[in-house]
Amino acid sequence: MSRPIRALIDASALAHNLRTLKLQNPDKLCMAVVKADAYGHRLNWVLPGLEGADALAILELNKATELRRSGWKKPIVLLEGCFNAEEFRIALEHRLDWVIHNRAQLDQVINLPPQSLAIYKPRVFLKLNTGMNRLGFTPAQAPTAIVDLEQWRLAHACPVPVLMTHFANADLPDGQDNGLSPQLQHQSLMALKPESWMSSLGNSAAALNWPALAGDVFRPGIAVYGASPGPRSASDYGLQAVMSLHTEVIALQHVQAGERVGYGSRWLAPQASTIAVIACGYADGYPRHAPDGTPVMIQGQLGRLAGRVSMDMMTVDVTGLSQVTVGSPVELWGKSLPVDEVAGHAGTISYELLCAVAPRVPFRKS
Ligand SMILES: *Cc1c(COP(=O)(O)O)cnc(C)c1O
């Protein structure tokens, strides 16, 4: 028998999430974000569910070329663009589009050898800094950049560019945005956008909470995988979990009141208790900082983490649960236990947990 941990991937749930997002954003192009190996889900496992997407967005050039080799024919956009001349060459060869976020990148595009554009005419996304202050042209720099890019793309008959920005606060309840509202960012972009250009603003949070502000091309990531960007729950948004992280109970311990469990003897048994030892630890990607009480689904019932997560194992209080034995099935997160809930207990967000599933965890179709 092999170690029982595995990540089950449900590509049909992913297809459902795409349909849900598209229903709320009709008449827009849906560019599903598959960076970080599809938010930890592994590109090859989710690809069959992505057919409904109009385009894919990714950061890693090697993964983008892999997508082409896997047969993805629709557009692929490099979210941080190209970093040198060799990358531009590879991008054109693989028919990739890209984002530019500063003058140096724009100059590199303008100075591409014209014969290289005979291979492929890319669509360029120009990123605007509308107040998040991470990447992009400032509103002061943008008008010149827009004129220069427009001139270049007309000269080379490249497709209509896209003016793009990223929301800082589309995931928050109204009024908690520290003054940078999605409406304000949307206004800044629309004030600069040439009429003929397209717009791209919405991440998952905007696609679900502010569809009117999401632009012509929206870019959902986390919601595609069935987790919530906030503020509501994934099931409230009609999303279905794509990844379920499963394992099994590998030992049981019966402890007396006053005994302690695990490293640092953090957990104190308040009564005679049954502890299930399960095959998953921080080396599998489970957060070591998860506190006692973090939910774990065992044999279809809710157990609570009891003691510090170790490298290969976790200990769960299953006192009073029925029929828990060695070999009982465990779900760390997934269809019956939302990853958002586990992340909330661990003081992080679903994104971090999903992306952290370790290379040693085998993936399977669910
Ligand atoms: C990651 C990313 C997204 C997706 O964000 P989610 O919150 O996962 O929907 C959208 N746009 C850009 C530029 C990104 O980098």
Cβ neighbors of 161 (< 8 A, separation 6 or more) are: 123, 124, 125, 126, 149, 150, 153, 197, 198
Which pLDDT value is given to residue 226? 98
**List of the chain residues with pLDDT < 50:** none
**Six-digit token string for 11:** 């590509």
Neighbours of 137 (CB within 10 A): 23
Question: Which residue among the candidates 22, 35, 127, 335 is catalytic per the annotation?
Answer: 35
Ligand 1 pocket check for 287: Cβ under 6 Å: no
Which pLDDT value is given to residue 2? 86
Residue 28 known to be catalytic: no
Length of the chain: 366
Among 131, 233, 127, which Cα is nearest to 182's? 131
Among 190, 132, 135, which Cα is nearest to 163's? 190
Tell me which of 34, 166, 185, 352 to substitute to probe ligand 1's pocket, judged by most ligand atoms within 8 Å of the beta carbon. 166
Convert 194-242 into a string of H (helix), E (strand) and C (coil): CCCCEEECCCHHHHHHCHHHCECEECCCHHHHCCCCCCCCCCCCCCCCC
Which pLDDT value is given to residue 175? 79
**From the CA of 221, how far away is ligand 1's center (Å)?**
5
Cβ neighbors of 76 (< 8 A, separation 6 or more) are: 55, 56, 57, 58, 64, 67, 68, 94, 95, 96, 97
Ligand 1 pocket check for 166: Cβ under 6 Å: yes
**From the CA of 351, how far away is ligand 1's center (Å)?**
11
Which pLDDT value is given to residue 278? 98
Ligand 1 pocket check for 222: Cβ under 6 Å: yes
pTM: 0.97
Ligand 1 pocket check for 33: Cβ under 6 Å: yes
The single-letter code of the amino acid at 182 is: P
**From the CA of 201, how far away is ligand 1's center (Å)?**
10
Phi–psi pair at 77, nearest 5 degrees: -115, 130
Ligand 1 pocket check for 182: Cβ under 6 Å: no
Which pLDDT value is given to residue 30? 98
Among 310, 261, 307, 267, which Cα is nearest to 288's? 310
Residue 263 known to be catalytic: yes
**From the CA of 303, how far away is ligand 1's center (Å)?**
33
Ligand 1 pocket check for 79: Cβ under 6 Å: yes
Strands (E), the chain: 6-9, 29-33, 55-58, 76-78, 97-100, 124-127, 162-164, 198-200, 217-218, 243-255, 260-261, 267-268, 273-278, 295-298, 301-305, 314-317, 329-333, 363-365
Please state the atom number of ligand 1 nearest to the C-alpha of residue 39: 8
Phi–psi pair at 148, nearest 5 degrees: -65, -40
Ligand 1 pocket check for 307: Cβ under 6 Å: no
Q: 169-203 burial, b if ≥16 CB within 10 A, otherwise e?
A: bbbbeeeebeebbbeebbebbeebbeeebbbbbbb
Which pLDDT value is given to residue 1? 63
Which pLDDT value is given to residue 174? 78
Widest pairwise Cα distance in the chain = 79
Peptide bond into 139 cis (omega under 30): no
Instruction: Using alpha carbons, list the distances in angstroms from residue 126 to 78, 120, 145, 276.
Output: 12, 18, 8, 53
| Among protein residues, the one whose CA lies closest to atom 15 of ligand 1 | 79
